Amino acid sequence: MQLTGPEIKRQMNLLNPCNPDGKPNIVIEPFFEKCLGSNSYDLHLGSTLKVYKSTIPEGMLPALPCTKPLKDYSMRDWFSTWTAFERYKKSPWLFDVANPSFALNPCTPKETVTIEIPRDGLILSPRFGYLGNTVEYTETYNLFPYIDGKSSVGRNFISVHETAGRGDDGFCGNWTLEITVKQPTIVFPNMRIAQIYYEKFEGDRKPYHENKASHYCGQREPTAAAAIPVDEFIQKQR
């Protein structure tokens, strides 16, 4: 059963002695009444993005600050030097996302490049995936939280998560967003980017913040993927 907007606010004001420090079941910081919807709360994009370094071709820029009218941009702007742009024109396959040299290995740690989003906006490329975060820090207890993009965000063909929009009872932190765009798209710090919803659940609790195997509790900035384990015990039992 999904909580309504008024119930979300009510849960934020009810202290629960069973929660850490007696906190309410829902914590949203900062909270603004105007962002409370019919059955969700609007979340905002933080000012920092991260891109996996291994996915960026040499000489190519993963994003562009908005410093001139859009009509004055060209493909040349995606490259840090004229030489890199000439390489792209002569050998475009070297910069193609399908090039196996840019493959991600989900089972190993990854190095990232940090990008600040200027107040005047940042142009994202459909070539890259971006890790962002919400301005809002949230804590959820005794409820199931999940996020999704706002409808206007979706209608601009911006995706804010890749199957990872579901949270956990006991999750505490800013939400990491896995952002992709269908075409070059401008984003701004503090723009409304997503909505958080809450549902009730049944059964015994296994809170995320008490699980030693949890990777992301307490995260505040865009957080790269933890290495996905390869469970050898499955092979042994086959």
Tell me: do 194 and 77 sit in the same domain: no
Model pLDDT for residues 57-91, shown as the tens digit of each residue: 999 999 999 999 999 999 999 999 999 999 999 99
Identify the active-site residue in 178, 199, 202, 232. 178
Q: Report the pLDDT averaged over residues 133-137.
A: 97
* Nearest CA-CA partner of 140 in 215, 198, 79: 198
Same domain as 230, residue 215: yes
- Structure confidence at residue 208 as a pLDDT band (50, 70, 90): low
**Is residue 23 located within the same domain as residue 91?**
no
- d(CA 19, CA 110) in angstroms, rounded, equals 34
pLDDT one-digit tens code per residue, 225-235: 888 888 888 87
Euclidean distance between CA atoms 82 and 163, whole angstroms: 38
For residue 181, being part of any structural domain is answered with: no
Domain assignment of residue 25, yes or no = yes
Domain that holds residue 19: 5-47+130-175+189-237
Q: Can you name the residues that pair with 78 across neighbouring β-strands?
A: none
Q: How confident is the model at residue 211 (pLDDT cuts 50, 70, 90)?
A: low
Judged against a pLDDT cut of 80, whether residue 175 lies above it is answered with: yes
The pLDDT-based confidence of 116 (bands split at 50, 70, 90) is: very high
Residue 184 lies in a domain: no
Tell me the per-residue pLDDT of 25-58, one tens digit each, with 9 for 90 and over: 999 999 999 999 999 999 999 999 999 999 999 9
Decide if 135 contacts 46 (C-beta within 8 A). Answer: yes
24 and 67 belong to one structural domain: no
- Choice between 10 and 204, residue whose per-residue pLDDT is larger: 10
Using DSSP bridges, classify how beta strands 172-181 and 112-116 pair: parallel, antiparallel or unpaired: unpaired
**Number of C-beta neighbours around residue 79 at 10 A:** 20
Does the annotation count 139 as an active-site position?
no
Contact 85, 76 (CB under 8 A): yes
On whether both 169 and 197 belong to a single domain, the answer is yes
Amino acid in the structure at residue 166: R
Would you say residue 215 has pLDDT above 80? no
Residue 166 lies in a domain: yes
Number of domains in the chain: 2
Can you spell out the DSSP letters for 200-226? ---S----GGG-TT-S-TT--S--PPP
Mean residue pLDDT of the chain comes to: 92
CB atoms within 10 A of CB 185: 17
Residue 162 counted as domain residue: yes
Domain edge (last residue) among 83, 105, 123:
123
Q: What is the SS3 assignment for 167?
A: coil
CATH number of the domain that residue 159 is part of = 2.70.40.10
Rounded alpha-carbon distances, angstroms, from residue 61 to 1, 57, 84: 45, 8, 10
Give the model's pLDDT for residue 214.
Answer: 63
